[in-house]
Amino acid sequence: MVQVGSKTPTPKRVGARVPETDPYRSQWRNRMSTQPAFREDHDSRDIEALRQRTIDTLTEAFASDAITLEEYERRAALASAAFRPAAFDELVLDLPVPRPAKPNPAPSRASRRDYDRAAAATGNHDLIGATPVTTGCVMGDRSLVGNWLTSDHVSAFTVMGSTKLDLRDADLPPGPVKIEVFTLMGETKIIVPPGLPVRLSAFAFMGESRADRDVNQQVRGAQTWIEISGFVMMGDLRVRVLG
């Protein structure tokens, strides 16, 4: 029963926003906003660069037998899901520090078409026996283009992702450049310029390992050539020519 002269309470509208007057809620929000897990001030580009460096370090450790395949897959999955710098550091703290790669001279496009003469003229002997180039890709894309080759040995590890190795602008040393691939449920693409000899011996299981028809596969008498070996499982390895 409503008394005469009393004020009838106004019903609250469904979905109306209630002003925050609870001081404890405000204090909790301010305190938690300063915690690393709740902060969003990390540049996404910096995080992606940290992620790629971490995966590269893990790949090099796996290539040098510092960690097993199972441990590599575990840490790579954690790196793919991490978003804090400290989380990336924890994944590589116990790994050996990678040796710095030797600096590479600027490419010379004038003699790039004739690879036998280029290797004999420019030498690039400092690439022979240098620290192997290691690259890893887990559920993503990885592309090496330009003058990126700093060794005569390359290890490419791809799991449910795509890796591209473009050798068109790379300085090549005399002798073989050995590329070892491991591709699991992904793809690895190797691009070579016209005339560069390639020897492909990678083994494919429930997958494909192939070189296009216009790839020169005669390495006899060549001064420099590419040797591709490794293992492809439920994935694809393709060598193609582009000018």
Q: How many independent structural domains does the chain possess?
A: 2
So what's the pLDDT on residue 216?
A: 92
Regarding whether 163 and 207 lie in a shared domain, the answer is yes
**In a domain? residue 33:** no
Do 236 and 203 belong together in one domain?
yes
This prediction has a pTM of 0.60
What the block records as the tokens of 133 is 């180039």
Q: How confident is the model at residue 125 (pLDDT cuts 50, 70, 90)?
A: confident
Residues 92 and 192 both lie in one domain:
no
Residue 26, in any domain of the structure:
no
What confidence score (pLDDT) does residue 66 get?
82
Q: What is the mean pLDDT of residues 127-141?
A: 89
From 132, 165, 171, select the one nearest 151 (Cα to Cα).
132
The residue-averaged pLDDT of 2-10 equals 54
User: DSSP for 105-121?
Assistant: PPP-STTSS-HHHHHHH
**Residue 102 falls inside a structural domain:** no
For 220-238, the pLDDT digits (tens) are 888 899 999 999 999 999 9
pLDDT tens readout for residues 197-221: 999 999 999 999 999 999 999 988 8
In a domain, 215, yes or no: yes
Question: What was the pLDDT predicted at 108?
Answer: 43
C-alpha 162/C-alpha 235 separation (Å) is 10
